[in-house]
């Protein structure tokens, strides 16, 4: 038995007991890739989760996607003829695209790099709920099953946003065109400072960023004395790039802009890792990347023999230390680690026959 056949058996067993979680599935386009071919099969439609589950058990997809959009005719192969009815607001935070030292030139996803994606995701959730006033029940967080996180916002208001409106929202999240002068204004009583923790929006986020560095006694009050204003303004002007970077959430703009985007289906399996696309809450994010990976493990039973194709002495695979880490060594590992090692090119499956 080759590795692809073995992985397909594991995936089929999973889909017999689990089904992707897709809201309003009858209005979504579904797409898959298979183990036999990498080309994507699009324009599928299902009238219920049950019919989708029967399909997944029969076809055993390697990857499953659904449209962020809702359509009147989701299975029509012509995009215009589908009749667009709206789209969820979707965000993608990918750890290997982050501008951080621990993620720089990363070839293998590490817990440390994934932790950086956790931080970005928490920043995004904070903005969506505390700045934009979204109901936390409408904001759904998912571990992508590989290198990052997806956030779906599902409600009637965001569903109708066009691309220009989504672009404005992206600019706000990225803290583009930040003008500090808008947040410090002169009044009769002195200088009104809109950089305070009791405000919403960028003023609150600016307070969080600047208060780490600027020791101004009355920064959190409404009025500042001239010398304090001068100190604050100089700091912001001198460090505008750093502050913008601290405020910015490193989302994939193209994903959020695209009102017809395909996104990985929640509770499906990621074909490159064998991990589950896992629903999370903010408390899960607080528990860290190792907890999140553990929650996403789908295959806890079974062992696989794998020959390592590179030295892994400096890498913990999914938070686990291998018995041997030198290149060409043969290790017996839990199925979920074996599937990950082979799919990511770190190992070669050895059939015990």
By annotation, the residues acting in catalysis are 92, 94, 252
Helix axes 226-238, 240-247, angle to 10 degrees: 80
- Helix H or strand E segment including 115: helix 111-126
Q: What is the DSSP string of 254-297?
A: HHHH-TT-EEEPTTPBPTTT--B-EEE-HHHHHT-HHHHHHHH-
Residues 6+ apart with CB under 8 A from 329: 307, 308
User: Measuring CA to CA, which residue among 172, 173, 135 is closest to residue 157?
Assistant: 135
Distance of alpha carbon 238 from alpha carbon 22, whole angstroms: 47
Phi then psi for residue 25, to 5 deg, are -60, -30
Q: How far is CA 38 from the centre of its chain?
A: 23
Give the separation between CA 341 and CA 344, rounded to whole angstroms: 5
Tokens standing for 302? Answer: 């079974």
Phi and psi at 292, nearest 5°, equal: -65, -45
d(CA 213, CA 145): 36
CA 140 to chain centre: 11
CA-based torsion, 304, 308, 312, 313: positive or negative:
positive
Burial status of residue 211 (CB atoms within 10 A of its CB: 0-12, 13-18, 19 or more): middle
């Amino acid at each position: 038995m080759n590795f692809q056949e073995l992985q397909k058996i594991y995936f089929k067993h999973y889909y017999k007991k689990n089904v992707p979680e897709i809201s309003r599935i009858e209005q979504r386009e579904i797409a898959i890739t298979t183990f036999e071919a990498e080309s994507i099969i699009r324009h599928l439609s299902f009238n219920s989760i049950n019919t989708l589950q029967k399909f997944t058990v029969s076809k055993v997809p390697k990857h499953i996607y659904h449209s962020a959009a809702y359509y009147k005719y989701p299975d029509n192969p012509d995009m215009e003829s589908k009749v667009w009815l709206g789209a969820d607001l979707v965000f993608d935070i990918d750890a290997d695209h982050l501008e951080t030292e621990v993620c720089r030139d990363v070839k293998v996803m590490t817990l440390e790099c994934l932790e950086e994606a956790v931080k970005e995701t928490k920043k995004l959730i904070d903005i969506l709920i505390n700045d934009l006033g979204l109901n936390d029940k409408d904001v759904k967080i998912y571990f992508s099953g590989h290198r990052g996180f997806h956030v779906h916002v599902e409600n009637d208001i965001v569903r109708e946003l066009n691309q220009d409106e989504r672009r404005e929202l992206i600019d706000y999240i990225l803290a583009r065109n930040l003008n500090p002068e808008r947040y410090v204004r002169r009044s009769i009583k002195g200088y009104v400072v809109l950089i305070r923790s009791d405000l919403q929006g960028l003023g609150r986020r600016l307070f969080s960023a600047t208060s780490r560095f600027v020791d101004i006694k009355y920064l959190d009050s409404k009025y500042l004395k001239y010398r304090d204003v001068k100190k604050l303004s100089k700091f912001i002007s001198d460090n505008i790039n750093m502050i913008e970077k601290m405020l910015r959430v490193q989302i994939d703009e193209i994903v959020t802009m695209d009102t017809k985007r395909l996104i990985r289906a929640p509770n499906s399996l990621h074909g490159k890792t064998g991990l589950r696309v896992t629903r999370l809450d903010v408390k899960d994010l607080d528990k860290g990347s190792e907890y999140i990976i553990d929650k996403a493990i789908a295959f806890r039973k079974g062992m696989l023999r794998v020959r390592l194709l590179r030295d892994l002495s400096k890498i913990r695979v999914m938070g686990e230390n291998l018995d041997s880490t030198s290149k060409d060594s043969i290790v017996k590992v839990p199925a979920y680690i074996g599937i990950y090692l082979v799919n990511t090119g770190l190992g070669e499956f050895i059939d015990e026959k």
